Amino acid sequence: MAGQGSGGARRAVVVLLTLLALAGLLAGCVTASGPADPAAREIQRLLDSRAGAVLRHDPAGYVAAFDPGATAAVTAARREYDHLADVPFGSWTYRVTDIDRTGPGRAVVRADLRYRIRGYDSGPVTTPRELELTERDDRWYVTAERDGAGASQQLWQQGDVEVVRGGRSLVLGVGQSAARLRAIAAEADRAVPAVSAAWPRPWTGRVVILVPASLDAMGRLLGAPAAGYRGIAAVTTGETGGGADAPADRVIVNPDAYGVLGTFGRQVVLTHETTHVATRAHTSAATPMWLSEGFADWAAYRGSGRTAAQAAPELRRAVQDGTPPDRLPEDEAFAFSGDGDALARAYESGWLACELVAERWGEAKLTAFYAAVGAHPGRAGAVEKALHDVLSTTPDAFTAEWRAYLRERLA
């Protein structure tokens, strides 16, 4: 089973600053009492130099921002640089958001780290950082660094990042063999054209995949309890309704669950998740989970030759037991709550709803229906309007037809 992250999970760029942009930045660097801190310019310059070292592949420059006497921080910085050195960053910047003076020559600085992966991110990924600084001989030094409030871990914070480039994919892994990462890249490269065939609307046609060392590490990347993803082979993170300047989605693989799948299962998972990447710009708060997950499963199973009984065993059992669902599942049914059978029925219900539209109205109508729902300004009325405008039907009529379709395909 694969899924699209919700909330935060469904849920940083070296820039040449003009004087105007720099002035705006300095105006935002405030102390707890409000006025701009006179040290803001020097601190920003220090962080800019560190950012440039990442792009120059300059480990000494990366560490130079740290106080040589802060041995633990220096060691951690050297280790972090080694971990991220192979990641193909296209940009990396820090934007200071707050300076809190904690004593003479001492400050706690909050900053947004913003980075892009070259060739994949149109906009920056942003993650908050908190740094402790000390001033000595008219120069500021970093003495400690940590994640800012609400930040999830970045992959390089978990270990040395191995990079594998596929034809249509970039796979970044920690604690994984190069052979395994190459296999995932090959599966992703097969997924991309399959998704483009199912979703012919424009999208980037490439995918970024993160493979952490364990389920617990996956949870730290998502900023969520790992237990909620046990048995989930992968999730996709990204900005719902993300536009042209949004960072690329990340497909995050659960190495434990993904590893026990067979060849077909792995391909279904990556095609499903890649579909979320392709449809992201047309997925919004108006899109119900049964449609977003059902469409991703429809794209993944499309052309596979799998029967409904093979692809929807839990729903088939309910139909044969005389307890078929009487309506399409609510979003809550897709929560990773530990009831695997119920979760499977929710996914299978959404898949067969999309299968119904593709079979009865045609694949072009299915993609048009998906886009129409996502284009609605809010959840209320979105499905109803798209059913009327695209499929010339009503919610009650569609539900009745879907229930009949379940009996037809699964009885």
Rounded to a whole number of angstroms, the distance between the first and last alpha carbons of the chain is 23
Residue with tokens 């794209």: 299
Domain ranges of the chain: 19-151, 154-283, 284-411
DSSP letter string over 270-323? HHHHHHHHHHGGG--TTS-HHHHHHHHHHHHHTTS---HHHH-HHHHHHHHTT-
Question: What pLDDT score was predicted for residue 339?
Answer: 79
All residues at 6 or more sequence positions from 330 whose CB lies less than 8 Å from its CB, including other chains: 288, 289
Q: What is the DSSP letter of 153?
A: P
Instruction: Classify 154-283 by CATH class.
Output: alpha beta
Q: How far apart are CA 146 and CA 218, in angstroms?
A: 19
Q: Strand pairing partners for 207?
A: 169
Which CATH topology does 19-151 take?
Nuclear Transport Factor 2; Chain: A, (3.10.450)
Q: Are 354 and 302 in contact (CB under 8 A)?
A: no
Q: Alpha-carbon distance 9 to 283, whole Å?
A: 14
Q: Which of 218, 228, 219 is nearest to 255 (CA)?
A: 218
- How far from chain centre, in Å, is Cα 239? 8
Mean pLDDT of 22-50: 65
pTM, to two decimals: 0.88
Tens-place pLDDT, residues 77-100: 999 999 999 999 999 999 999 999
- C-beta of residue 138 within 8 angstroms of C-beta of residue 151: no
184-243: per-residue pLDDT in tens? Answer: 999 999 999 999 999 999 999 999 999 999 999 999 999 999 988 888 999 999 866 656
Kindly list the distances between the CA atom of residue 351 and the CA atoms of 171, 222, 311, 344, in Å, as whole numbers in the listed order.
28, 26, 9, 11
